[in-house]
Amino acid sequence: MRYTGLIEKYRDRLPVGDNTRLISLGEGNTPLIKLENIPVLLGKNVDLYIKYEGLNPTGSFKDRGMTMAVTHAVEEGSKAIICASTGNTSAAAAAYAARAGIKAFVIIPEGKIALGKLAQAMIHGSTIIQIKGNFDDGMEIVKEIADHAPVSIVNSINPYRLQGQKTAAFEIIDELGAAPDYHCLPVGNAGNITAHWMGYTEYKDAGKASKTPVMVGYQAEGAAPFIKGSRVDNPETVATAIRIGNPQSWDQALKLSKESKGWFTAHSDDIILAAQKLLTEKEGIFCEPASAISVAGAMIDIQSGKIPEGSTVVCTLTGHGLKDPDTAIGQCDQSAMINVNPTLKEVKKAILDNM
Ligand code: F0G
């Protein structure tokens, strides 16, 4: 059967009617890849999987929520959607609005979104409103805008977003035949970790899994309100996707962390970038910096024994590496690029010198 997106696949668990027009780009159904080389490097016996959400249609997990949010907005007769974004939500909103034939307005922090995400928002024809402020400033405006303009909010405060995103947990259980012991995620607004917990608990309550995982959330050191215990006014990190100081799903995330016996930890930009590079060089998997923090954090917690040997661990790689080419190129050794004349002799020399 042709795969036609996550609403069709999980429609009995989603708020959608029989006659609803589905706005889908075939999102979901992303690969769960077992890491082969990193566990060996760690010298630890763990089953470590990544859920490669960067392979969604617009290159991030946001498509899971956006298919639901835009489907609902269109059903309600909305002609325009709006979001504040660190980049990926804007890319998804722009694409799904294009598909639906409605307008998208995206509020982004000037100069602080990765190039690929900006390209997506522009090419899909959204109206981009750049602010001299950060994501949190944009979010405050979006929360008030619906009283002033005829637009539907598609940030994760829209409950339909989390409904769509919870399907990632369904897919993992459907594929592994059980919930993992640990699920590690990058945390910004904390919508995605909340959605995963919804999915895991829903499947457990339905008898489709015997347990729920321990939920582990990682934040960048310069944008770590959950570790600080209060909002951060000027968040800063190379992982621009999670450059957020005032998470909208604060209460839900604290509650689920406690219920699942999980924890939040912060890691530095250097650790994030090193994990991004390790994944590309040792596993052939390219994710954006924010995503790499899930593997960076899991590696540290496996090494310390906080995540014990024998565990099954899933790390979500939330966005594709191509989203942020500048950061990727910036952390590569430029000497890997060899300039030669177009002759057999010079190309052969370049190969033999570098074997
Ligand atoms: N990873 C990536 C690649 C993201 O784009 C985001 C959030 C997160 C992780 C964190 O997820 O907010 O649910 O805790 N990006 C939003 C955006 C804020 O606007 O694209 P969260």
Question: What's the distance, Cα to Cα, between the start and end of the chain in Å?
Answer: 46
Of ligand 1's listed atoms, the one at least distance from the Cα of 185 is: 9
Which of left, alpha, beta for 91 (phi over 0: left; psi -120 to 50: alpha)? alpha
For residue 244, which atom of ligand 1 is closest to its CA? 18
pLDDT band for position 336 (cuts 50, 70, 90): confident
Cβ atoms of 103 and 81 within 8 Å: the answer is yes
Residue 82 tokens, joined: 């709006």
Q: How far is CA 213 from the centre of its chain?
A: 19
pLDDT of residue 103: 98
Cα 21 to ligand 1 centroid, rounded to whole Å: 27
**Residues 301-317, mean pLDDT to the nearest whole number:** 98
What is d(CA 237, CA 223) in angstroms, rounded to the nearest whole number? 7
Q: What is the mean pLDDT of residues 211-222?
A: 98
Q: What does the pLDDT read at residue 329? A: 94
DSSP state of 55: G
- With cut-offs at 50, 70 and 90, classify the pLDDT of residue 333: confident
Stated pTM of the model: 0.97
Q: What is the DSSP string of 294-331?
A: HHHHHHHHHHHTSS-TT-EEEEEE-BBGGG-HHHHHHT
The residue whose CB lies within 8 Å of the most ligand 1 atoms, and thus the one to mutate among 134, 194, 318, is 318
- Nearest by Cα to 177 from 215, 214, 210: 210
What is the pLDDT of the chain when averaged over all its residues? 97
What distance in Å separates the CA atoms of residue 64 and residue 95, rounded to the nearest whole number? 13
**Does ligand 1 have an atom closer than 6 angstroms to the CB of 217?**
no
**262 pLDDT exceeds 90?**
yes
**CB distance 237 to ligand 1 below 6 Å:** no
Kindly indicate the confidence band of residue 334, based on its pLDDT and cuts at 50, 70 and 90: confident
- Ligand 1 centroid–CA 240 distance in Å is 9
Mean pLDDT to the nearest integer, 267-278? 98
Query: Please, which pLDDT band fits residue 335 given cuts at 50, 70 and 90?
Result: confident
Rounded Cα distance, 136 and 290, in Å:
17
Closest by alpha carbon to 241, among 104, 72, 114?
A: 114
Q: What average pLDDT score do residues 290-312 get?
A: 98
| pLDDT > 90: percent of the chain | 97
Find the mean pLDDT for residues 307-323.
Answer: 98
Mapping DSSP to helix (H, G, I), strand (E, B) and coil, where does residue 224 land? coil
Q: Is the pLDDT of residue 40 over 90?
A: yes
The pLDDT of residue 352 is above 90: yes
In angstroms, the CA 189 to CA 155 distance is 10
> Looking at residues 143-150, what average pLDDT do you find?
93
The alpha carbon of 235 and the centre of ligand 1 are apart by a number of angstroms equal to 14
pLDDT tens for 156-208 read 999 999 999 999 999 999 999 999 999 999 999 999 999 999 999 999 999 99
Q: What average pLDDT does range 77-85 have in this prediction?
A: 97
Q: Which atom of ligand 1 is nearest to the CA of 323?
A: 3
3-class secondary-structure state, position 293 = helix
Query: How many angstroms is it from 156 CA to the middle of ligand 1?
Result: 10
CA atoms within 13 A on the CB side of 349: 9
Distance between Cα 241 and ligand 1 center (Å): 5
Give kind and range of the element (H or E) at residue 33: strand 32-34
**Is the CB of residue 116 below 6 angstroms from any atom belonging to ligand 1?**
no
Local structure of 156: helix, strand or coil: coil
Predicted confidence (pLDDT) at residue 241 exceeds the cutoff of 90 = yes
C-alpha 45/C-alpha 155 separation (Å) is 39
d(CA 140, CA 227) in angstroms, rounded, equals 22
pLDDT for the residue 215: 99
The alpha carbon of 308 and the centre of ligand 1 are apart by a number of angstroms equal to 28
